[in-house]
Structure 1
Amino acid sequence: MMPLFTSRPEKPKCKSLSLREFQNAQTMVFAIEEINNRADILPGVSLGYRIYDSCGSIEMALKASLSLVNGENASQLPCHRPNTVQAIIAETSSTPTIAISATVGPLNIPVISHFATCACLSDRKKHPSFFRTIPSDYYQSRALAKLVKNFGWTWVGALCSDNDYGNNGMNTFIKAATEFGVCVEYSEAFFRTDKREDILRILDIVKSSSSKVIVAFVSYSDMEVLLGELAQQNITGLQWIGSESWISDTNIATGKWQGILRGSMGFAIPKAEIKGLGEFLTKLNPASGIDLYKELWETIFQCKLSPENALGVNMCKGNESIINVQNQYTDVTELQIANNVYKAVYAVAHALNSTISCSKLDTNQGSTSKCLEKLNNTWQVLNALREVSFLTGTGENVYFDKSGDPAARYDLLNWQQGEDGTTEFVKVGFYDASLQPETQLSFNNISIVWALNKKQVPVSICSESCPSGTWKAVKKGKPICCYDCLPCAQGEISNETDSVACLKCPQEFWSNERRDTCVPKLVEFLSFEDAMGIILVVFSLLGVSFTLGIVVVFFVHRDTPLVKANNSELSFLLLFSLTLCFLCSLTFIGRPTEWSCMLRHTAFGITFVLCISCVLGKTIVVLMAFRATFPGSNVMKWFGPLQQRLGVLAFTLLQVLICVLWLTKSPPFPYMNKNLYQERIILECNLGSAFGFWAVLGYIGLLAVLCFILAFLARKLPDNFNEAKFITFSMLIFCAVWITFIPAYVSSPGKFTVAVEIFAILASSFGFLFCIFVPKCYIILLRPEQNTKKHMMGKS
Structure 2
Amino acid sequence: MCHIPLVNCLVAKPLPLFHKYYWPGDLIIGGIISHIYISSDVMTFKRHPHQEPIDDLILFSATWTYLASLELLSTRDNFIPNYKCDAQNIPVAVIGGPHSDVSLTISTILCSYKIPLIVYGNPSMANTHIQRSGFHSMFTNGDFQYKAILLLLRYFRWTWIGVISLEDESAERFVKDVVPMFSPSGICVEFISIFPRIRFTSDFTDGMAEGAEISIAVMRSTANAVVLHGEFETLMILRMLIHFSEFADISVKTKIWIMMAEIDFTSVYFQRTWDLDFLQGAISLAIHSKQPQGFQRFLQRRNPASHKEDGFIRDFWQQAFNCLFSNSEEDDTVEGACTGEEKLEDLPVSVFEMSMTGHSYSVYNAVYAVAHALQTIPFSTFKHRTMMGRQKHKFAGHELYQLQHFLKWVSFNNSCGEEIAFDHTGQLVAGLDIINWVTFANQSFLRIKVGKVDPKASPDKMFTIDEDAIVWPSRFNKTQPLSVCNYGCRSGYRKTKKEGKPFCCYDCFPCPKGKISNQEDMDDCSQCPEDHYPNKDRDLCIPKYISFLSYDEPLGMTLAIMALFFFCITTLVLGIFLKHRDTPVVKANNQNLTYTLLVSLLLSFLGACLFIGQPNKVMCLLRQTIFGIVFSVAVSCILAKTMIVILAFMATHPGSRMRNWVGKRLASSIVFSCSFIQTTICAVWLATSPPFPDFDMHSQSKEIIVKCNEGSVTMFYSVLGYMGFLAIVSFVVAFLARKLPDSFNEVKFITFSMLLFCSVWLSFIPTYFSTKGKDMVAVEIFSILASSGGLLGCIFFPKCYIIVLRPELNKKGQLIRRKS
Q: Which TM bucket (shorter chain)?
A: 0.7 to 0.9
**Map 1:129-278 → 2, pairs under 5 A:** 129-163=134-168, 174=179, 178=183, 181-190=186-195, 191-192=197-198, 193=204, 195-217=207-229, 219-231=231-243, 233-234=245-246, 235=252, 237-244=254-261, 247=264, 255-269=273-287, 270-273=289-292, 278=299
2:799 paired residue among 751, 776, 782: 776
1:40 match: 30
In structure 1, C-alpha distance between the alignment counterparts of 2:776 and 2:425, rounded to whole Å? 77
Task: Give the residue type in structure 1 aligned to 2:167.
Answer: D
2:410 paired residue among 354, 364, 388: 388
1:7 match: none
Deviation at 1:611, TM superposition (A): 1.4
Task: Give the residue type in structure 1 aligned to 2:615.
Answer: P
1:598 match: 621
**Map 1:310-459 → 2, pairs under 5 A:** 314=334, 320-321=339-340, 324=343, 333-334=355-356, 336-358=358-380, 375-376=397-398, 378-416=400-438, 422-443=444-465, 447-452=469-474, 456-459=478-481
In structure 1, C-alpha distance between the alignment counterparts of 2:388 and 2:165, rounded to whole Å? 56
3-state DSSP of counterpart to 1:257: coil
In structure 1, C-alpha distance between the alignment counterparts of 2:655 and 2:387, rounded to whole Å? 165
CA pair 621-408 structure 1, distance change in 2 beyond 3 A: same
In structure 2, C-alpha distance between the alignment counterparts of 1:242 and 1:323, rounded to whole Å? 33
**Map 1:402-551 → 2, pairs under 5 A:** 402-416=424-438, 422-443=444-465, 447-452=469-474, 456-462=478-484, 463-529=486-552, 532-551=555-574
3-state DSSP of counterpart to 2:479: coil
CA pair 366-395 structure 1, distance change in 2 beyond 3 A: closer
Deviation at 1:74, TM superposition (A): 7.4
3-state DSSP of counterpart to 1:500: coil
3-state DSSP of counterpart to 2:524: coil
Deviation at 1:402, TM superposition (A): 2.0
Deviation at 1:365, TM superposition (A): 13
1:3 match: none
1:14 match: none
3-state DSSP of counterpart to 1:384: helix
Deviation at 1:93, TM superposition (A): 0.9
CA pair 397-170 structure 1, distance change in 2 beyond 3 A: farther
In structure 2, C-alpha distance between the alignment counterparts of 1:770 and 1:261, rounded to whole Å? 94
1:611 and 2:634 are equivalent in the alignment: yes
In structure 2, C-alpha distance between the alignment counterparts of 1:423 and 1:472, rounded to whole Å? 41
In structure 1, C-alpha distance between the alignment counterparts of 2:286 and 2:152, rounded to whole Å? 13
In structure 1, C-alpha distance between the alignment counterparts of 2:129 and 2:746, rounded to whole Å? 112
RMSD: 4.6
Q: 8 Å contact 2:165–2:230 — kept in the other structure? A: yes
Q: Deviations 1:547-593 (Å, cap 9, x if unpaired)?
A: 23433443343333222233223212222222222222222233222
Q: 8 Å contact 1:123–1:403 — kept in the other structure? A: no
1:788 match: 811
Deviation at 1:505, TM superposition (A): 0.7
In structure 2, C-alpha distance between the alignment counterparts of 1:76 and 1:273, rounded to whole Å? 38
Q: 8 Å contact 1:584–1:604 — kept in the other structure? A: yes
1:20 and 2:15 are equivalent in the alignment: yes
1:53 paired residue among 41, 44, 61: 44
Q: 8 Å contact 2:409–2:421 — kept in the other structure? A: yes
3-state DSSP of counterpart to 2:365: helix
3-state DSSP of counterpart to 1:554: helix
2:594 match: 571
1:554 and 2:616 are equivalent in the alignment: no
CA pair 525-452 structure 1, distance change in 2 beyond 3 A: closer
1:9 match: none
In structure 1, C-alpha distance between the alignment counterparts of 2:384 and 2:628, rounded to whole Å? 123
CA pair 94-750 structure 1, distance change in 2 beyond 3 A: same
3-state DSSP of counterpart to 1:112: strand
CA pair 717-417 structure 1, distance change in 2 beyond 3 A: closer
In structure 1, C-alpha distance between the alignment counterparts of 2:388 and 2:437, rounded to whole Å? 59
3-state DSSP of counterpart to 2:377: helix
Q: 8 Å contact 1:469–1:488 — kept in the other structure? A: yes
| Count, aligned residues | 763
Identical aligned residues as a percent: 33
Q: 8 Å contact 2:97–2:103 — kept in the other structure? A: yes
Task: Give the residue type in structure 2 aligned to 1:40.
Answer: G
Deviates more, 1:83-92 or 1:327-336: 327-336
CA pair 601-364 structure 1, distance change in 2 beyond 3 A: closer
Deviates more, 1:630-639 or 1:516-525: 630-639
Deviation at 1:481, TM superposition (A): 4.4
Task: Give the residue type in structure 2 aligned to 1:688.
Answer: G
TM-score normalized with structure 2 length? 0.79
Deviation at 1:515, TM superposition (A): 1.6
2:97 match: 91
In structure 2, C-alpha distance between the alignment counterparts of 1:371 and 1:204, rounded to whole Å? 57
3-state DSSP of counterpart to 1:439: coil
List runs of 5+ in structure 1 lacking aligned partners: 1-17
Task: Give the residue type in structure 1 aligned to 2:235.
Answer: M
Deviation at 1:108, TM superposition (A): 5.3
In structure 1, C-alpha distance between the alignment counterparts of 2:636 and 2:550, rounded to whole Å? 32
In structure 2, C-alpha distance between the alignment counterparts of 1:365 and 1:764, rounded to whole Å? 121
CA pair 530-187 structure 1, distance change in 2 beyond 3 A: same
TM-score normalized with structure 1 length? 0.81
Q: 8 Å contact 2:226–2:256 — kept in the other structure? A: yes
3-state DSSP of counterpart to 1:401: coil
Task: Give the residue type in structure 2 aligned to 1:186.
Answer: F
Q: 8 Å contact 1:262–1:453 — kept in the other structure? A: no
Deviates more, 1:607-616 or 1:377-386: 377-386
1:8 match: none
In structure 1, C-alpha distance between the alignment counterparts of 2:562 and 2:808, rounded to whole Å? 33
CA pair 331-643 structure 1, distance change in 2 beyond 3 A: closer
In structure 1, C-alpha distance between the alignment counterparts of 2:38 and 2:240, rounded to whole Å? 36
Task: Give the residue type in structure 2 aligned to 1:20.
Answer: L
CA pair 726-265 structure 1, distance change in 2 beyond 3 A: closer
Q: 8 Å contact 2:231–2:264 — kept in the other structure? A: no
Q: 8 Å contact 2:236–2:266 — kept in the other structure? A: no
3-state DSSP of counterpart to 1:516: coil
Q: Deviations 1:156-206 (Å, cap 9, x if unpaired)?
A: 444333345666667787456556545444332323445332232233224
Task: Give the residue type in structure 2 aligned to 1:771.
Answer: C
Deviation at 1:599, TM superposition (A): 1.0
In structure 2, C-alpha distance between the alignment counterparts of 1:545 and 1:264, rounded to whole Å? 87
Q: 8 Å contact 1:26–1:281 — kept in the other structure? A: no
In structure 2, C-alpha distance between the alignment counterparts of 1:94 and 1:363, rounded to whole Å? 34
In structure 2, C-alpha distance between the alignment counterparts of 1:86 and 1:527, rounded to whole Å? 97
